[in-house]
Structure 1
Amino acid sequence: MSRLLLHGMRLLSRGFCSLGSNRISVCIVGSGPAGFYTAEKMLKAYQGVEVDIIDRLPTPFGLVRYGVAPDHPETKIVANQFSRVAKSVRCSFFGNIALGIDISLPELRQNYDIVVLCYGAESDRSLGIPGEELNGIYSAREFVWWYNGHPDCFDLAPDLKITDTAVILGLGNVALDVARILLRPISELAKTDISEQALASLQDSTIRKVYLVARRGPAQAACTAKELREILGMKNLHIKIQQADVDISPSDEEELKNHRIQKRVYELISKAAASPHSHSPTEQRELHFVFFRKPDSFLPSENGCTVGAVRLERTSLKENGTFGKRLAVGTGEFEDITCGLVLKSIGYKSLPIDGLPFDFHKGVVPNVKGRVLKGYQTEHDQAVEHGLYVAGWLKRGPIGIIATNLYCAEETVASISEDVEKGLLDGDSGAPKPGRKGLLQLLENKSIAFVPFSGWEKIDAKEKMVGQQRNKPREKITTWEELLKASN
């Protein structure tokens, strides 16, 4: 257990004891890793906490269910831990409840002593370059949601039969996931929980070449060594990396000295570039790493509606004087990659809701250690919204792995603990807020039907039953209508 969490738990326990016999009610919005880790830490900290988790989807687990690649089942095991949290007598799950539509943030704050927003990032950053509206161009989020059976993207239907080449813009872990799914043998994918429609589309796919395009060099690659090692080690896959792209400057060497993870990533890329790759009859698929290029525009195919190529501008790294980070700037040299599919893996984006301060530039809620600030504050003027907190991507931006949310949640819970200790919550000076009872009454007054955790368990059982018949872990239900039907 971290010192931060232990300190937070001690503060939380003392804070609740100071409230006498009064319980404290907590509502967590978002049932992904950040939401469940926050719930778990709160429940462990004090017996008087009652935690409710709401989510706009009928299914819990967020990123674990809809973000983790289907060929990474070991990463999804954490859902078992989250299920134990949800089954606590002091915790309830309310699925199919959309914040800002079914229920407002002020309504939640009126009913709960503490509201923690963990609803993640459900939109995408835009490149803002010509041709971005052409057919055949998708965000990586949409594509990931499609192959993972998310009900918002089950009908995405990307055409994988009109081209042999796909271009992925970005070189983070999501970009590697997408490339791996496009290139992995269908016989291996068929044994995963990939959605039925995605499996059928990939079965007929004609894509044999995938280009991963990065603005900067291999020394600045944003992926992790584990993800990179996996794709470089795929059988019957021809890896192509230009040796010139792997040559590093003295500035790169200095940068790598201080970043052990990036150094390991660079070493893997450098080794792959130097390895001989001879074609054999079985090596039908290619993965190209293209460094020091940024997208300039998308060019249409002959029909004028579908993407036909990506125009890239060569870049070089220049010092910008901010935190010592070098930026990729264009050199005026251009080249085209002919393709029929483009996937933009340039970052997810959180969305604002009414009544919540939001930093549109960073795509996060302004906060200090999880405490939501009142608008835009300076380091010396940090007025906070007492009782309102954030965790996960909404707090720090769409970075990190699943486990990153554990430490993020610990920090937010420690802030809650300190605020309870100081008596800063609205409910401290008077009667406790109604909590779950108030939420249930509110939903009843609005005639809003929700999916409890028992409803999710019915969905879960049906998916596993159908999956077993098809030699898969589960066959995901991919439409809102069928999910709600299965939950009853």
Structure 2
Amino acid sequence: MRNIRVAVIGAGPAGIYASDILCREHEGATVDIFDRLPAPYGLVRYGVAPDHPRIKEIIKALRRVLGNERIRFFGNVEFGKDLSVDDIHEFYDAVIYATGAIGDKELTIPGIDLPESHGAADFVSWYAGHPDYPLEWPLEADAVAVLGAGNVALDVARMLAKTADEQLVTEISDNIYQGLAKNPAKKIHVFARRGPAHIKFSPMELRELSHSPNVDVFVTEEGFQIDDAGQAEIGKHKATKLVVDGLLKYLESEGTGAPHQIHIHMMQNPVEVLGEDGHVVALRTEVTEYQGDGSVKGTGEFIDTPVQAVYRAIGYRSDALPGVPFDNRDDVIPNIEGRVTDEDGQHIAGTYATGWIKRGPVGLIGHTKSDATETIRHLMEDLDQLPVPIHGSPDAVLENLAAKGVEFTTSEGWDKLDAYEIALGEPQGRERVKVQSRDEMMRVSRG
């Protein structure tokens, strides 16, 4: 097989898994992974709640992949600005786009643009210490509504309900701790359009809601409905049964008198964020009912829940990449099993996609690995058709970036930043304290 050089755009699990699989499948392949952030790991680093150390165990596996001598990491390189499509084809045989999804899916209801209405992805990025987000977050509401029936909604509810001191064992930086310490929220209301058998919580996430001694979890009895389609889901999937059992346990709970409460409301569809004098005062929901196939419709009955802030956690959204085809309806790069296609549906030679930018923001990290396997299988089938780069030297792309004045970091630089964060946490008995400032990240990475 001919030796190839491949560029991967995005250093999250999708891009790293694809790099690993390619290097195992092809002994003559070398990979350069580029990311606009100075640190790798994508949403595992910047999209997972800090009190989820078990999920972050995946970082250990990703780190081992980056230790492969045939894989290089370059951070602080923005695709479309520092590195273009033309650059890619000049220096590489193929490219794999793995930029994921970090934006919030839009919700078009009246009042959603009020100042206390936020996207959950933005809030997650803040408390996860993303360098492109402000150091402060407006936490001023006594009662908060969280819209959504997935794990991100539970993460947001849990982070708003737990005390700041409970987060001091995690990797949060001081500005995040100070922000959470000012949070006055006592009641967090989570709203789902459907009933318990169709909620997308994972059993573990649902159980963790009650692990804090400062939080009581309640499920509203109205809306605890299971139709025939829901019964079938419970019978087919163990995880669904565990979620329903967990919700039933919360339904029957009388609480402990904890100072903070999470209330889960089902069969309620958000229809309006109510405002007064330009500020959020309540969330209006319409009670729903099942139609027999698992879907729901509105009943015409409305409920107003007093809240002073709203977080929509209804899904992530991918962004278009400069010079790369994009499907604005589904917010993905158009592709056939990872082969990127043009407007006529024809495969663009040497161009591939994997992860959420390929299939949309659904599935867990394990799905990302199987997704990458499919994409790499097709790349391997296309080896003889891959275009030959003009400059095949590994140093050519670095010289190009340097000529543009791009201050990029490397795998060695990430090692320095990683060690620095670990050292920051040691005096406090913490695994690490995350650095949020991009300038400081670059300073440490570049020594």
Matches within 5 A, 1:88-103: 88-103=68-83
Contact 2:5 2:94 in 1 (8 A): yes
Query: Residues 80 and 239 from structure 1, CA distance in 2 versus in 1: closer, same or farther, beyond 3 angstroms?
Result: closer
Within the candidate set 283, 286, 299, 2:274 is matched to 299
Name the residue aligned to 2:89.
109
Mapped contact 2:222–2:266 kept (Cα < 8 A): no
Please give the secondary structure, in 1, of the residue aligned with 2:222: helix
Matched letter for residue 272 of structure 2: S
- Confirm or deny that 1:396 pairs with 2:359: yes
Inter-partner Cα distance in structure 2 for 1:271 and 1:164: 26
Structure 2 gaps of 5+ residues are: none
Post-superposition offset of 1:49 = 0.9
Aligned match of 1:250: 228
Q: Is the 8 A contact 1:137 1:342 kept in 2?
A: yes
Give per-residue Cα distances to partners, 1:167-203, cap 9 Å, x unaligned: 1100211111111112224332111012322211222
Q: Does 1:367 align with 2:335?
A: yes
Q: CA deviation at 1:279?
A: 4.3
1:56-455 alignment runs, 5 A limit? 56-159=36-139, 162-273=140-251, 275-280=252-257, 283-301=258-276, 304-318=277-291, 326-375=294-343, 377=345, 383-420=346-383, 423-427=384-388, 434=392, 436-455=394-413
SS in structure 2 of the partner of residue 483 of structure 1: helix
CA contact 1:113–1:433 (8 Å) conserved in 2? no
Deviations 1:215-257 (A, max 9, x none): 1111110111121122145435322222232232223223433
Moved over 6 A (4+): none
Between the two proteins, the alignment pairs up a number of residues equal to 446
Distance in 1 between residues matched to 2:335 and 2:143, nearest whole Å: 43
Change in 2 beyond 3 A, CA 1:468/1:232: same
Cα 1:232–1:376 shift into 2, 3 Å: farther
- Residue number in structure 1 paired with 2:439: 481
Cα RMSD after superposing both structures: 1.9
| Deviations, residues 110-144 of structure 1 (Å, cap 9, x unaligned) | 32111000011122211112222211221111111
In 2, Cα distance between equivalents of 1:185 and 1:447: 44
> TM-score, structure 1 length as denominator?
0.87
Match of 2:424 among 443, 466, 478: 466
Question: What SS does the corresponding residue of 2:291 show, helix, strand or coil?
Answer: strand
Q: Given residue 25 of structure 2, which amino acid in structure 1 is its aligned partner?
A: A
CA apart distance, 1:433: 5.2
- Work out the CA distance in 1 between the residues paired with 2:295 and 2:253: 32
8 Å Cα contact 2:91-2:390 kept in structure 1:
no
Q: Secondary structure of 1:244's match? A: coil
Are residues 1:33 and 2:1 paired? no
Residue in structure 2 matched with residue 9 of structure 1 by the alignment? none
Question: Structure 2: which amino acid aligns with 1:182?
Answer: L
SS at the partner of 2:263?
A: strand
Contact 1:358–1:375 (8 Å) recurs in 2:
no
SS at match of 2:421: helix
Conserved? CA contact 2:103–2:122, under 8 Å: no
Aligned counterparts of 1:219 and 1:262: Cα–Cα separation in 2: 6
Which one-letter code corresponds to 2:158 in the other structure? R
Q: Tell me how far 1:265 sits from its aligned partner.
A: 1.5
Matched to 1:47, the amino acid is E
1:109 deviates by: 2.3
SS of the residue corresponding to residue 351 of structure 1 reads coil
Give the CA deviation at 1:270.
Answer: 2.2
Q: TM-score, normalised on structure 2? A: 0.94
